[in-house]
């Protein structure tokens, strides 16, 4: 079964994250054995991104959400590294600026959605407005509880305008998170990544899980599905996400646009090597040229 099918949250499905194994690795025994597949998927992603850009008619929005240290940055570094920066961008959602907070919660997300031909990755997203905002009571329940429908409408609108949307929840265990925090404490090169807030947020784990379960249940739709990715093993996380993205791009029916020029005429006029050498070409910049 493809990972698209396996990890997709079906519209209306009830989610119990504690019943989903974050350490799942399918039949793959090790990183080494999965590496060839990851490289194959990443290679397909790179080729298809070129085609998406050339085709210029559709776009892809990838949403990454997770608890701290689950690997959002790692996914971006490993899977999108080979793509042409022209046509790909990443936007990280932080605490809203004064200007952002003065607008509706979808305003800043909408400004960053991909234009035709582009891939945009949201590192956190408009979902923070039903996650951190709910957990920390930054808005009243009467406000955030209306946002699921608003998000579904927003994503439906993007989708009818040619944007494919893939939403990934990186699922790790609390033990794995603690281990990753410890690595950040122990490794001087990674000290900068750890803050007190990481530990205080961790205490709110059950509240975040409840908020995530609600979001996953209420906003996984045909046009913008959620995928729950087992993420305790970084390599398996990368394998599953790269397969889902490559398969999705594959399904989009991307094609090179038709040419608007007479190739044969141009080739004859400027590019026949023998003509150039004989000084018979028509390139005005070629000193040997007749014209």
Q: Would you tell me which residues interact with ligand AMP (CB under 6 A)?
A: 92-96, 124, 128-129, 132-133, 138
For ligand AMP, which is the closer residue by CB, 55 or 213?
213
Tell the smallest beta-carbon distance from residue 194 to Mg ion (Å): 9
> Which residues inside 227-256 make contact with Mg ion, applying CB under 5 A?
none
C-alpha distances (whole Å) from 9 to each of 22, 211, 275 are: 15, 15, 62
Tell the smallest beta-carbon distance from residue 271 to ligand AMP (Å): 51
- 132's contact among Mg ion, ligand AMP, none, with CB below 5 to 8 A by partner kind, is ligand AMP
Tell the smallest beta-carbon distance from residue 196 to Mg ion (Å): 11
In sequence order, the 6+-apart residues with CB closer than 8 A to the CB of 52 are 58, 59, 60, 87, 117, 118, 119, 249, 252, 254
For ligand AMP, which is the closer residue by CB, 48 or 209?
209
- How deeply is 206 buried, as exposed, middle or buried, from its count of CB atoms within 10 A (0-12, 13-18, 19+)? exposed
For ligand AMP, which is the closer residue by CB, 147 or 237?
147
Tell the smallest beta-carbon distance from residue 15 to ligand AMP (Å): 21
For Mg ion, which is the closer residue by CB, 68 or 118?
68
Name the CA dihedral angle for 137, 139, 141, 143, rounded to a multiple of 10 degrees.
-160
End-to-end CA distance of the chain: 63
**Residue whose beta carbon is closest to Mg ion:** 68
For Mg ion, which is the closer residue by CB, 68 or 129?
68
Tell the smallest beta-carbon distance from residue 101 to ligand AMP (Å): 8
Tell the smallest beta-carbon distance from residue 188 to ligand AMP (Å): 19
- How deeply is 100 buried, as exposed, middle or buried, from its count of CB atoms within 10 A (0-12, 13-18, 19+)? middle
**What values do phi and psi take at 45, rounded to 5?**
-55, -45
- 96's contact among ligand AMP, Mg ion, none, with CB below 5 to 8 A by partner kind, is ligand AMP
For ligand AMP, which is the closer residue by CB, 133 or 246?
133
Tell the smallest beta-carbon distance from residue 208 to ligand AMP (Å): 10
- 118's contact among ligand AMP, Mg ion, none, with CB below 5 to 8 A by partner kind, is none
Distance CA 152, CA 165 (A): 11
Q: What are 2's two structure tokens?
A: 């493809």
For ligand AMP, which is the closer residue by CB, 42 or 135?
135
**Residue whose beta carbon is closest to ligand AMP:** 128
Q: Give the three-class secondary structure for 97.
A: coil
> Which residues inside 45-104 make contact with Mg ion, applying CB under 5 A?
68
Question: Which residues in this chain contact Mg ion in the complex, by CB under 5 A?
Answer: 68
């Amino acid at each position: 079964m493809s990972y698209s099918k396996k990890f997709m949250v079906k519209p209306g499905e009830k989610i119990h994250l504690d019943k989903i194994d974050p350490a799942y690795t399918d039949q793959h025994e090790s990183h080494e054995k999965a590496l060839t597949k990851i490289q194959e998927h990443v290679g397909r992603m790179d080729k298809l991104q070129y085609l998406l850009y050339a085709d210029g008619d559709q776009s892809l929005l990838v949403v990454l959400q997770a608890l701290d240290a689950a690997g959002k940055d790692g996914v971006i570094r490993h899977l999108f590294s080979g793509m042409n920066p022209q046509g790909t961008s990443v936007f990280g959602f932080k605490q809203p600026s004064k200007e952002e907070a003065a607008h509706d919660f979808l305003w800043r997300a909408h400004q960053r959605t991909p234009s035709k031909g582009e891939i945009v990755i949201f590192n956190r997203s408009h979902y923070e407005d039903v996650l951190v905002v709910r957990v920390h009571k930054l808005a009243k329940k009467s406000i955030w509880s209306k946002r699921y429908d608003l998000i579904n409408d927003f994503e439906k609108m993007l989708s009818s305008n040619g944007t494919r949307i893939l939403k990934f929840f990186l699922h790790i265990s609390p033990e794995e998170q603690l281990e990753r925090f410890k690595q950040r404490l122990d490794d001087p090169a990674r000290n900068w990544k750890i803050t007190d807030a990481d530990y205080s947020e961790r205490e709110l784990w059950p509240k975040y899980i409840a908020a995530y379960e609600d979001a996953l249940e209420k906003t996984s739709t045909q046009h913008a599905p959620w995928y729950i990715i087992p993420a305790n093993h970084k390599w398996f996380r990368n394998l599953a996400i790269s397969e889902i993205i490559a398969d999705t791009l594959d399904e989009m029916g991307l094609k090179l646009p038709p040419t608007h020029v007479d190739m044969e005429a141009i080739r004859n006029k400027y590019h026949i090597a023998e003509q150039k050498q004989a000084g018979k070409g028509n390139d005005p910049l070629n000193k040997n040229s007749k014209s």
